[in-house]
Amino acid sequence: MSWRGLLRLPSDYIHNIGLRGKCSRRDNRPFSVTGAAMFGRLFKFFTLCLLAWAVARWFLKPSQRRNVHELVSALAIALLISAGLFCVLYWLGWHTI
């Protein structure tokens, strides 16, 4: 297998199974079904965050915790800057990034 076979995009798979150009059905499920699925995803996310916080609190020294806090703060700021940049580019009309 060549390296190109490893870098297949989802659009390649959609084209191969014959779904390109066909309309998909709308998601008309009741809100209670989709709301329950979203609640489950949020619960798993917050459980994972709580577990990561507990591990950092119990196993790291205060100086290490300070370094982790600085790293997470820097990543959060970078994420906000990136989101702002993408919003500005979208607003300026650059929709295909």
- The candidate with the shortest Cα–Cα distance to 76, out of 66, 64, 86, 68, is 68
What are the backbone dihedrals phi and psi of residue 3, each rounded to the nearest 5 degrees, phi first?
-70, -25
- What is the pTM for the complete model shown? 0.47
C-alpha span between 40 and 34 (Å, rounded): 10
Quick one: 48 and 24 in the same domain?
yes
How many domains does the chain divide into?
A: 2
Quick one: 41 and 71 in the same domain?
no
So what's the pLDDT on residue 42? 87
C-alpha span between 34 and 49 (Å, rounded): 23
The domain of 36 spans: 1-59
Quick one: 89 and 70 in the same domain?
yes
So what's the pLDDT on residue 30? 60
Quick one: 69 and 89 in the same domain?
yes
How far is C-alpha 96 from the geometric centre of its chain's CA atoms? Answer: 19
Q: Encode the chain (97 residues) as per-residue pLDDT tens digits.
A: 455 555 555 555 555 555 555 555 555 666 555 666 777 888 999 999 899 989 888 998 988 989 988 999 999 999 999 999 999 998 898 877 6
Quick one: 28 and 54 in the same domain?
yes
Quick one: 5 and 52 in the same domain?
yes
Q: Taking CA 52 as the corner, what is the angle to CA 51 and CA 56, rounded to the nearest 5 degrees?
A: 115
